[in-house]
Structure 1
Amino acid sequence: MRSLIAFPCAGETLIGTLDAALGATGLLIVSGGNEIRCGAHRGMALLAAEVAAKGRPVFRYDRRGIGDSTGANAGFLSARDDLIAAAAAFRAHAPHVTTIVGYGNCDAATTLTLYGHDAGIDRLLLANPWTIEDTDDLPPAAAIRATYRQRLTSPRAWARLLAGQIDMTKAIKGLRKASATRPQTFAARVVATIERWGNAATVLLATGDATAQAYRAAARHLPAQLIETASHSFARPQDQHRLRAAVFDALDAKRM
């Protein structure tokens, strides 16, 4: 059974969706970017229905200024109160839930990392955590390095270079960024927080995704589950299968 729930957050009203089920372990889905709670192509809504059909309740919500919720959208780093309010609403409307697993992709994963303890969330499934603080229009340095490694072995790329079909100004900017060694303070903060979660956090990475590559470059010492895809949202059917398996593994894990 699916129901809409309105709940307060810092003087505004957030709207959430509860897919009810009788299980004691529930899934709290946090949307990334400016996505509404149903997700791209209803992906999060479909995931919620599948999880609930197998006995685990699921709660999704729009943070302030997104979708059906009131207020101003101040971005994922200002979403602490929204996450706390959503977790409280989940518990209030599904009081039999004793364990909450948080799932998010991209900056939603980072929101869960930074503020999940404040919301009383027990375990995390973090897909492609956002660790990038760059302000230019280039991809992350780790993604640039991966791209150039691939191009150096590609005869087609060399042919394009010799034919003058590559923007050399942009290529030089990319090379400079790829070789830079400046400190990534935000990345260090996110990675350190994930490390403190210990076994209660599982990281899932799309190997060909720039956001995932940036995280991997900053967190090579931490374990991660890899999915061989370039799809940031795990859009291919085989990617979706792997994602759902990871979700159920997180739900079925023993409490840490």
Structure 2
Amino acid sequence: MRRLLSFSCGKAELAASLDGGRGVTGLLMVTGGGQTRAGSHRMYERLAKALSESDIPCFRFDRRGVGDSEGEDPGFRGSGPDIAAAARAFRAAAPGLKRIVGFGLCDGASALALFGMDAGLDGIVLVNPWLVEAEADSPPPAAIRRHYRQRLLSREGWRELLTGAVDYRKLFKGVRKIAAADRGSPLALDVAAALRTSRLRSWLILCEGDATAIAAEAELKGSAFKGLIEGRETIPSDSHTFARPGDEAALLAATLRALKALGA
């Protein structure tokens, strides 16, 4: 059963939704960007409903300045107080809970990694996490690298290269981005440091063709993340928000497995 409620974060009143369940582990859902608690394509709403039907309580909220909530939007790097206040409100609204696992998409995942310990969470599920702050209107370098690798390994790619169908200026621009890709991301290092300090149990869900997920995977292979991610799921989709046919069911199944693996 779904309930609408509100809670305080500083001087602001925040809007939330609780999809109930009889389970003792709840999922605190944190959206990415400026998305409301429904999520893109109502992704969060649908996932919460499905999990609730499996007796997993789900709490969604609009952070300050987003959707139905008051205040000014602090961005994901300033959302620690929002997440902590939401966790307290979740516990108050569902007193039977023994554990809370965070679930975040994109920079919502980054926020959970950065602030999950302060919110008293017992684990986090990081979905297509935002770990590389790329230039405006430009995909992350790791996504560019994969694009050109696939082009140059294909027969069609070589045909375009040899017949002059390739825009060489665009090609060289992409190559320059690839050359600069291995310097590492400050955001990824911040996330890794936070996870190492908090020791939060963490699980990863990636869409294999999503540019944000490709960039995250490149960062996660670095030594900074060694031993920090307990496990992972890969979904064969290029949709960042799981909007392709079959994505919704795949995300639900992956989330259930993640919760089981995290001891929920």
Common fold, TM-score beyond 0.5?
yes
Show the counterpart of 1:218. Answer: 219
- Measured in 2, the distance between the counterparts of 1:80 and 1:254 equals 22
- Does the alignment pair 1:101 with 2:109? no
Show the counterpart of 2:239. Answer: 231
Contact 1:101 1:250 in 2 (8 A): no
**Per-residue deviation, 1:251:** 3.1
- Measured in 1, the distance between the counterparts of 2:173 and 2:216 equals 21
Q: Would you say how many aligned residue pairs link Structure 1 and Structure 2? A: 256
* Residues 12-32 of structure 1: CA deviation (Å, up to 9, x unaligned): 110000112222111111111
Within-5 A mapping of 1:16-165: 16-161=16-161, 165=165
* Residues 72-119 of structure 1: CA deviation (Å, up to 9, x unaligned): 123111111110111111011111111001111111000111001100
Cα distance 1:204–1:198, how it changes in 2: closer, same or farther (>3 A)? farther
For the residue of structure 2 that corresponds to 1:34, the secondary structure is coil
TM-score, normalised by the number of residues in structure 1: 0.91
Contact 2:208 2:236 in 1 (8 A): yes
- Measured in 1, the distance between the counterparts of 2:238 and 2:84 equals 32
* Residues 109-130 of structure 1: CA deviation (Å, up to 9, x unaligned): 0011100110011111111111
- Measured in 2, the distance between the counterparts of 1:88 and 1:249 equals 25
- Measured in 1, the distance between the counterparts of 2:196 and 2:239 equals 25
**Per-residue deviation, 1:166:** 4.2
Q: Unmatched 5+ residue regions in structure 1?
A: none
For the residue of structure 2 that corresponds to 1:104, the secondary structure is strand
Show the counterpart of 1:186. Answer: 187
What amino acid is aligned across from residue 75 of structure 1 in structure 2? G
Contact 2:114 2:191 in 1 (8 A): yes
What amino acid is aligned across from residue 73 of structure 2 in structure 1? N
Q: Unmatched 5+ residue regions in structure 2?
A: none
For the residue of structure 1 that corresponds to 2:120, the secondary structure is coil
* Residues 125-163 of structure 1: CA deviation (Å, up to 9, x unaligned): 111111112335321111111000001023333444456
- Measured in 1, the distance between the counterparts of 2:160 and 2:258 equals 46
Contact 1:138 1:174 in 2 (8 A): no
**Per-residue deviation, 1:243:** 1.5
